[in-house]
Amino acid sequence: MKILVADKISPKGVAYLRAQSGFEVIEAYGSSPEKVLELVRDVHAIAVRSETKISADVIAAAPLLRVVGRAGVGVDNVDVDAATERGVIVMNTPSGNTIATAELTFTHLLCGARPVPQAAASMKSGQWDRKSFSGIELFKKTLGVVGLGRIGSEVAKRAQAFGMRVLAYDPYLAPSRAKAMQVEPATLDELLSQSDYITVHMPLTDDTHYMIDEAAFAKAKKGLRIFNCARGGIIKESALVEAIKSGKVAAAGLDVFEDEPLAKESELRTLPNVVLTPHLGASTAEAQESVGIEIAEQITDVLRGGVIRNAVNMPSIDAAAVKVLGPYIDLGAKLGTLVQQIAGPQITALRITYWGKLVDLDTNSITRAVQRGYLRRISGDGVNFVNAPVMLERLGIKCDILKSTEHSDYTELLGVEAIAADGSTRSVTGTLFTKAAKPRVVTINQRDVEVEAAGKLLIIENKDQPGMIGYIGTLLGRDGVNIANMSLSRQAPGQTALIVINLDSEPSEAVRRELKGNPNIALAKYVEL
């Protein structure tokens, strides 16, 4: 398998890839877009930093591509939507630069409190000016941390070591975690009005774009010091410039900008109380080595069919999760395939329901398995865990996920229901039996059965009358098809019965036609799992 290393990553990361049996590594740093299009024709993986653009055209030109690995956090240079549609995993390395970025943030905090860069520049110009560079202390001041993820948490720890009070705004911050970290949860307005220093550590999204704008600065303390080593665009630069000019903001430190590189004529460059760095968050020897090795390991895991970590366009599955979720993922795929074959083509929604112990698990990967299973016979090998939701949406099929607290006869139960436009449904449920965790189907169309979810199945709904089982067995016997197992379900004598048969081989088309043509048989469906 070929791996294109398009941008320069740690030599140890490249060496790790080269040491893998069956891998051919192509280093092509600084290639033109045209050269990249040529190189990707037969590659299975691409490793990049921020220089090379992995556009939709690049992805379309790489029919064998399975994974794009970004040695760093941001994936702005990768067309994630195009990758998802093609079923290509996009991964980053969010933890490799955590300490480097936290330390740079704190460097900016200290420079915002004590104007060391400005004093150093003055000294180098031959001056001795002690009066112009007076600062303030961090001790007993309030730091507002906007976003208490990995980096925000590390900044908070360092602030506490300096004797600062830490407020934290994060919509996903659990009270228990805030208490454990000894930070005070706050609304954004509370944080703005109480903080002497503010640092932002949010991803750039529609919700966080210009989160700190003119209105936010109006609510802030006079003399605020504010810092951004996360993503350009969270702080509105024009609003920041005006807040500095008015004296509302006493100092600022920026490592990231709305447009990079920062324009030479940017007014930010002219403000004496602003410290600027050219996106250096991950620029330490340790961080670069860490992310290079990490992305090499992640790419190897994907190409070897192992765990998926730090994927940005699908649920990541680490080794521990695979051990727990693996059997349920298999069960979900089988049930998705089964319900597709008994439901027919005209459905508008899939409803996936979890009961019992499954309610407490992270079921994202199981849901993807159901979706992929449903699409497998429709879309072929082109569907995978990455693009299954997109393909369902394209077919006009909505997917609803329910976690039920209702009582179930099983400790863990997974249900998949296909809903047609007229409201009619076809459904299956399954669970795991025995210590070997073998998947079993336990209901079909709300009728109790018990069959192994594997291999070849014949599903028959028939009028419950004497001789039907013998008739079916004789017909299959004449066809040379052996019955491995059979499950029979009926509601009451003389009504409709459901027969599910595990077969050793596929029945002939003639047998299927005869079964479907029998007036006492309402449904005769051969399915493969």
> Which residues are tagged catalytic?
231, 260, 279
Grouping H, G, I as helix, E, B as strand and the rest as coil, residue 462 is strand
- For 412, phi and psi rounded to 5 degrees? -145, 135
CA neighbor of 486 nearest in space, from 503, 466, 471:
503
Scan for tokens 């480097």, then name that residue.
100
Q: Which residues contact 160 (CB under 8 A, 6 or more apart)?
A: 166, 182
Kind and range of the H or E element at 503? strand 496-503
DSSP strand pairing (438-444 vs 425-433)? antiparallel
Task: Report the number of secondary-structure helices (H) and strands (E) in the chain.
Answer: 17, 22
Phi/psi-derived region of residue 372, left when phi > 0, alpha when psi is between -120 and 50, beta in every other case = alpha
Q: d(Cα 507, Cα 518) in Å, to the nearest integer?
A: 16
Tokens representing 182 are 């000894």
- For tokens 């006869």, what's the residue? 409
Minimal CA–CA distance to 419: which of 498, 363, 340? Answer: 340
Among 119, 120, 113, 106, which residue's Cα sits nearest to residue 135?
113
- C-alpha closest to that of 306 among 294, 316, 291: 316
Whether residue 63 has a cis bond before it, omega within 30° of 0: no
Residue type, 222: K
Token pair of 110, please?
């200290």
